[in-house]
Structure 1
Amino acid sequence: MGAGSVRIHNATDPGQDAVTPRAARLEPQVEAYLVLGSPELPHSDQPTATGPVILAHLGAQRGTAPQATVVHRWSQSTTPPLGGHLAGHLAVRTGHAGPAVPLWIVHVGPAGLHAYALVRADAEWGLFTRITATPVAVGASGVEGLAWLAGVVGAHRLHGPVLDNHNRAWTKAHPGYELEVKYTVTGADPWTLATDLHARIGAGEVAGLMLKPGDGLQKWASTNHLFEITGPPPEAGYVSFAPGDGGRTLIKRKWFTEDARLRREHLDVLRLDLPYEQHVRGVLGLTDMIEHPPFHRYRLDVNAEFTDTGNWFSIICDRVQPAGNARQLRQVEIEYCGTRGIFAPDEHAVGEQFDRLTNWVGQILRHHGAHSEPGHYSKLSFLRDLAGTPN
Structure 2
Amino acid sequence: MTAQFRVDNGGVGTVVARRLVLADAAYQYTLTPVTAAPVIVAELVPEEGAGARAVEYLRGGDTVARAVTVLDAADRARALALPAEPMATWVGTGLDEAFTDHLRTALVESGQASTSGVTGEGLAALGPVMLLRTHVRARQPYTEVLMCTRIRTIGTLFVRVAQFDHAADASLGEIVTAAFKQGTELEDFVRIEGNAYLRYEDDIEIEEKVTLVDDAPIWPLTKSMWTAVENGMFPGFITDPGYELTRGHFVQYNFEVLAPDDEVGHYAFQKRADGVYHLKMKKFAKDSLRRVETFRPGVEIPGDGLEGYLAREFPGLSFRQLPGLRRTKFDINVQSVTTGHCFGIETDEVTLSDGSGRKMRQVETEYLETRRHAGMDGASIDAELGRLTDLVEAHLAGLGIAADRGLYSKLSFLRDCSQSSDR
Give the structure-2-normalised TM-score: 0.73
3-state SS of paired residue (2:243): coil
Q: Larger C-alpha radius of gyration, 1 or 2?
A: 2
Paired residue for 1:57? Answer: 43
- Matched ranges for 1:275-286 at <5 A: 276-283=306-313
User: 1-side partners of 2:298 and 2:203: how far apart?
Assistant: 18
1:328 aligns with 2:359: yes
Q: Alignment partner for residue 356 of structure 1, among 377, 387, 402?
A: 387
1:162 aligns with 2:162: no
Task: Kindly state the Cα deviation for residue 107 of structure 1 after the two structures are TM-superposed.
Answer: 1.4
Structure 1 pair 273–84 and aligned structure 2 pair: CA distance change class (3 A): farther
Number of residue pairs matched?
Answer: 361
The match for 2:173 among 138, 141, 144 is 144
Equivalent residue runs for 1:63-142 within 5 Å: 63=49, 65-77=51-63, 86-87=90-91, 89-90=93-94, 95=120, 99-110=125-136, 111-132=141-162, 134-135=163-164, 137=166, 142=171
1:42 to 28, 43, 65: 28
Is the 8 Å Cα contact of residues 254 and 263 (structure 1) preserved in structure 2?
yes
Match of 2:246 among 218, 229, 232: 218
Secondary structure in 2 matching 1:329: strand
Residues 161-180 of structure 1: CA deviation (Å, up to 9, x unaligned): 42244545223343331122
SS at match of 1:65: coil
- Equivalence for 1:175: 202
Segments of structure 2 that go 5 or more residues without pairing to the other structure are 1-11, 66-81, 101-116
CA contact (8 A) 2:145 2:179 kept: no
Deviation at 1:336, TM superposition (A): 2.1
Aligned partners of 1:219 and 1:300 also within 8 Å: yes
Answer yes or no: is the 8 Å Cα contact 2:279–2:299 preserved in 1: no
In structure 2, the partner of 1:373 is 404
Residue equivalent to 2:348: 318
Normalising by structure 1, report the TM-score. 0.78
Q: CA deviation at 1:115?
A: 1.2
Change (3 A) 1:269 1:73: same
Deviation, structure 1 residue 318: 1.7
CA distance in 1, matches of 2:171, 2:88: 29
1:203 to 231, 242, 259: 231
Give the unaligned 5+ runs of structure 1. 1-25
Cα distance in structure 1, aligned partners of 2:308 and 2:149: 42
Name whichever of 199-208 and 313-322 sits farther off: 199-208
Q: Using the alignment, how far apart are the partners of 2:61 and 2:272 within structure 1? A: 38
Contact 2:93-2:151 at 8 Å conserved across structures: no
Structure 1 residue 337 corresponds to structure 2 residue 368? yes
Q: Aligned to 2:267, which of 239, 244, 253? A: 239
> 2:190 corresponds to which letter in structure 1?
L
Q: Distance in 2 between matches of 1:365 and 1:53?
A: 47
What is the CA-CA distance between 1:223 and the residue it aligns to? Answer: 0.9
Alignment CA distance shift 1:191-1:88 (3 Å)? closer
Aligned to 1:204, the other structure's residue is in SS state coil
